[in-house]
Amino acid sequence: MGVILVHVANADPAPWIDELRRQAPDLDARGLDAIGDPATVEVAITWKLPHGLFRTYPNLALIQSMAAGVDHVLADPDRPARVPVARVVDPWMARSMVHQVALAVLRWHRRLEWVESMRADARWPTGVVFDADAVRVGVLGLGHLGQAVARAMQDLGFAAAGWARSPKVIDGLDCHHGPEGLRALAAWSSVLVCLLPLTPETEGILNAGLFERMAPGSLLVNVGRGGHLVEDDLIAALDGGRLAAAALDVFRTEPLPAGHRFWSDPRVYLTPHIASEINPVTATRVFVENIRRSRAGHAPIGLIDPAKGY
């Protein structure tokens, strides 16, 4: 039984190691500076391990991402192709994601920024109409999180539809696919939610060509990855009125640099990558299960296909 390496970029792994030991005292969990002989590393549980390290562990049997995305793992050009890669599939993360998207949609639908703006001169408007039937949520990406978000929007009484790269059949949800389907979904939606994995095909998918198909006054919610969004195109769509607002949780550079124009844009509702914050207790349950599966020769929960990137 080898070492379970736990590494979290820019954070102390100790709380995670403690939780692993609490749930599975037999596991030998260690931080990056305590692994000793690299040949002993059996499993790497990581968020953004420095590139080049995976290949220094000759007996690595499983790479477990600490996020729903694995782009940070696949971006390492020296990653040994033989080692299976798993993402986190955790109901708690799905709930947090649902809350993040629901809050963004409700803020826009009930015009929170407009309500806030009236405080300056104590204005009390009349004749306001909020049309819930005009809220049509298009979800890009129909994996575990995308499906949970689409269902939650329907439960709130909003219309929802989805898009995935390849054809999908999901009960009660209109599913589009392919480039043609993407354009059709954008034309139908008044809200676009990006929950795609970041791959060469989806890089820059949130661009002017997509925004210009949407109805004026629409909302963009990006909870995928910063690399999905063409930032200049977003600003142009906001300036042109095609989009009324954008709720952004992910950025090309994180932390978002203090000089970035998004910070002070009143049309941008900005959060620091908190949409689906990982829960140490529930996620560690998944990690322990995947270590057991790996040792028994079974596929881990959330096994990804490196060729597809998710």
Partner 1 sequence: MPAVLFRSPNDSSEPWRQALSERISGLDFRAWPNVGDPADIGFALVWKVPPSFLKEFPNLQAICSLGQGVDHIFGDPELPRGPHILRLVDPWMGRAMAEWFLLQVLRFHRQGPDYEALQRRREWKQLPAPETSTRRVGFLGLGALGAEAAGKVAALGFDVAGWSRTRKSIPGITSYAGPDELDAFLARTDILCGLLPLTPETTDLMDARLFAKLPKGAFVVNAGRGAQLVETDLLAALDSGHLAGAALDVFRTEPLPADNPLWTHPKVQVWPHVSALTNADSGADQVAENIRRVFAGETPINSVDPERQY
Name the token pair of 201: 């095909």
Alpha helices in the chain (DSSP H): 14-23, 71-74, 91-109, 112-117, 144-155, 178-188, 208-211, 231-239, 280-295
DSSP SS3 for 3: strand
Distance CA 220, CA 135 (A): 12
Contact yes or no for 42/99 (Cβ under 8 A): no
Residue 126 vs 166, nearer CB to partner 1: 126
Least Å from the CB of residue 191 to partner 1 = 14
For this structure, is 260 an active site residue? no
Q: Find the catalytic residue in 136, 176, 225, 228.
A: 225
Q: Is 272 exposed, middle or buried (0-12, 13-18, 19+ CB in 10 A)?
A: exposed
Distance CA 34, CA 18 (A): 14
Q: Find the catalytic residue in 55, 95, 111, 273.
A: 273
CA-wise closest residue to 309 among 221, 209, 228: 228
Residue 152 vs 221, nearer CB to partner 1: 152
CA-wise closest residue to 301 among 33, 56, 86, 62: 86
Least Å from the CB of residue 128 to partner 1 = 5
Chain position carrying tokens 């009390």: 124
DSSP state at residue 42:
E
Residue 51 vs 151, nearer CB to partner 1: 151
Instruction: Indicate if the alpha-carbon torsion angle 248, 10, 61, 301 is positive or negative.
Output: negative
Least Å from the CB of residue 296 to partner 1 = 31
DSSP state at residue 298:
P
DSSP SS3 for 200: coil
Residue 122 vs 169, nearer CB to partner 1: 122
Distance CA 107, CA 267 (A): 11
Residue 78 vs 116, nearer CB to partner 1: 116
Least Å from the CB of residue 9 to partner 1 = 13
Least Å from the CB of residue 122 to partner 1 = 4
Render 217-236 in DSSP notation, one character per residue: TEEEEE-S-GGGB-HHHHHH
Chain position carrying tokens 């708690």: 92
Residue 21 vs 95, nearer CB to partner 1: 95
What residues line the site for partner 1 (CB under 8 A)? 92, 95-96, 98-100, 102-103, 106-107, 109-110, 112, 115-116, 118-119, 121-122, 124-126, 128-130, 132, 152, 155-157, 254-256, 258, 263-264, 269-274, 277, 279
DSSP SS3 for 134: helix
Least Å from the CB of residue 110 to partner 1 = 6
For this structure, is 225 an active site residue? yes
Residue 56 vs 117, nearer CB to partner 1: 117
Least Å from the CB of residue 127 to partner 1 = 8
Active site residues: 225, 273
